[in-house]
Structure 1
Amino acid sequence: MAQELSNSFLTNPEKAYQAYLENGYHIESNVLTVAECNMLIAASKQLENAVCGNYRPQMMPHRQNSLYLLAMKNPLIIEIMRQILGGTPVGLQTEYFYCKPGTRGFSLHQDNFFVEAPYGAFGSAWVALTNTHLEKGGLIVYPGSHKEGSLPVKKLSSNKDMAQDPNANNEETIVPPKYKIMHAPVPRGAALFIHGHLVHGSNPNATMEWRHVLLNTFIRKGEYFRPGNYAQREAIDLCQRA
C-alpha cells in the first residue's frame, strides 16, 4: 500500500503512469480533503435513495446536487484521467455508494462490460469518502487482468440485495487463473483509478460503519459509449462550471 501511494501522479507522473499500464489501476492519495469528503457525505442524506430509506447506490447524484458534479471536475482527477486515457476526458457517470453495514459486495466485473467503449478509452475514479478495507466493503482487484481485453462472464443466480446496485450480481467475470486476487484498501480522500477492462469487485461490508464512496467514470472525448437503460449515461462537459 505504501509503495502504491508513493507512485503519485503529482510527484512522479511517469512512474505512476507506467505502474498503471502494468497493473490496470492506480491509487492516488489526498485527492479530496476531509472537509470535502464530509460535505459529500452530508449531501448524500438528501439524495432520493436516502430519503426513501433503501440506501441503494444513487445513480447520477450530480443531477440532484451540483456538489457531485463539482467533485467530478476535481482538477487532479481530470488531469490523471487525461494522462491514463491519452486524451481529453469527458464525464460519463457519477454514482454514490452508501454501503450500509451488511451490504453485499459487487461481483467481479469489468466496468467496460456495461459501457462497451473502445479499449483504453474508458476509466473510473473510485473515490473513498471514508476509509475502506477488506472488512469494510474494500475493493478486490486482479492486477494485469486489463491486458486481456473483454473477458467472458457467467450468469449468477444469487438473491438481490436491495442496498446494492441492481447490476451488481447479475454476472461474474471469468478470470484466467494466472491472475491473482489482491485486496486494495483505499483511505479516505484517496481515489482508485480503474482501467475499463480491469477485473475487480468488492467485499461485503462486515463492519458496523457505513462505507461511503463516490464513483466517477470518464471516456476519451469523441469515443463511442453505451448509454445504458439503467445508468442513462451522457457526455458531461468538464470545462463548464458546475
Structure 2
Amino acid sequence: MAHAGLDAAQKAQFGRDGFLAIRGLIGLDEIAEIRDTFMQAAADGPVPGLSDVPRVREGAPVGADPLSRFPRMMHPHKHADKPVGEVAARYMFDPRLRPILADLFGEEPFACQSMFYFKPPGARGQDLHQDNFYLRVKPGTCMAAWVAVDDADAGNGGMMCVPQTAMLDIACPEPSDPALFFTTEHVEPPAGLEPQMMQLKAGDVLFFNGSVIHGSTPNTSPDRFRRSLIFHYVPASTVEMSHWYEAMSFDGHRQDIATNMDGGPCGTTQAAPMGPH
C-alpha cells in the first residue's frame, strides 16, 4: 500500500530541520526479510564487487576491525543476480517512499543509490558529513531515505543529525579521527549547533536532505548490530550530479543526467562514492 504523503506538521518540521523520521513505515515482517537476506549474503564474509571493505586503522591488529568482517554493501540494487539485489531494488522503488519524497522535493524523485550497513558490535562510526559533497547534485540537492533494520540509538552507534543545517553550503571537510570513524571526512557544525541522536526503531525511515550535517557514533554495545538499508534520491529537475551515480525513475526508466565537473568545494572532481552513515 502506498503512503499518502506528509501532513502540514511533518512538512513544517522538515522545512525547519531538514530531516524527518516516519515511524513504522516498513513492517517488521519486511524488516526481517531485509535483515535475513543481507545477513545470509554476508555469511561467508565480504562479497567481491559488492562489499566495500574499509581502510585499516594504522597500528590496529590484523582482523581487529569488525567492519572487515561486515563491510557495507554498495549499490546492491545493481546486483540482480543475488537475492540482495532483488530486495534492495524492491524497497528502493517502494511505492510508500515515492509520495513522501515527492512532498519533500516538491517534485518527482529519481533513485540513484542503495547501500546496506551492518555496523556490528565494536564497529567504528561514520564522522559528520554532508551527502551532497559526494553526489554533487545541481541545481538542488539529494535526499536520503535511511531505513532502520535494527533499533538505532546511542548504545549501538545510532544516527545523528544537526538541526538547522539543511540550508548550509557544502563544506570542504577536515580529516576525521580514524580511531573512531571508518570514513575520512569530518564537517564541523556551525557554532552553537549540536548533533541530535535520532532514536529510531526497526521499520522507521529517516529522511534528510544533502546539506544536513549528519553521522553516527561507534557501536559500543557488546551484542547489538545497527543495520540499515539506505537509499539516495535526486529531484527530477536535476541537471548534473557525480559520475558515480545513475538516476532511475520510480517507473524504471534511466534518466540522462550530465556529469557535474565543477570540482566541488575542495576543488577536486575525485570525490569517492559515498556512504553516509
TM-score by length of 2: 0.75
Q: Secondary structure of the equivalent of 2:160?
A: strand
- Greater Rg by CA: 2
Aligned-pair RMSD on alpha carbons? Answer: 2.1
Distance 2:118 2:139 in 1: 30
2:242 counterpart letter in structure 1: R
Q: Offset at 1:138?
A: 0.5
SS in 2 for 1:177: coil
The equivalent residue for 1:226 is 242
Structure 2 gaps of 5+ residues are: 47-68, 80-84, 254-277
More helix by percentage: 1
1:171 to 171, 185, 193: 185
Distance 1:181 1:45, change over 3 A: closer
Residue in 2 aligned with 1:181?
195
**Partner amino acid for 1:26?**
L
Any stretches of 5+ residues in structure 1 without a counterpart?
Answer: 1-8, 162-167
Aligned to 2:176: 156
Contact 1:90 1:221 in 2 (8 A): yes
Farther-moved stretch of structure 1 (10-19 vs 50-59): 10-19
CA displacement at 1:236 relative to structure 2:
2.1
Structure 1 position 182, deviation (Å): 1.2
What corresponds to 1:137 in structure 2? 157
CA-CA distance at 1:222 after TM superposition:
4.3
Structure 1 residues 197-226: Cα deviation after superposition (integer angstroms, max 9, x where no partner): 000000111111111100010001241210
Q: Distance in 2 between matches of 1:50 and 1:227?
A: 32
Of the three residues 14, 17, 35, the one matched with 1:20 is 14
Greater shift, 143-152 or 200-209, is seen at 143-152
- Residue 239 of structure 1 corresponds to 251
Trace 1:1-242 onto structure 2 (pairs within 5 A). Answer: 13-47=7-41, 50-53=43-46, 54-64=69-79, 65-118=85-138, 120-156=140-176, 158=178, 168-207=182-221, 208-223=223-238, 224-228=240-244, 233-240=245-252
Post-superposition CA distance 1:170-216 (Å, at most 9, x none):
11012111212211111110100011100000011111111110001
SS at match of 1:38: helix
Q: How far apart, in 1, do the equivalents of 2:26 and 2:6 lie?
A: 19
Give the whole-Å Cα distance in 2 for the aligned partners of 1:13 and 1:191. Answer: 16
After superposition, what is the alpha-carbon deviation per residue over 1:56-102, rounded to whole angstroms, capped at 9, x for unaligned? Answer: 00001112321111111122211111111121100010000011111
| Distance change >3 Å, CA 157–CA 128, structure 1 → 2 | closer
Identity of aligned residues (%): 21
Q: Is the 8 A contact 2:131 2:211 kept in 1?
A: yes
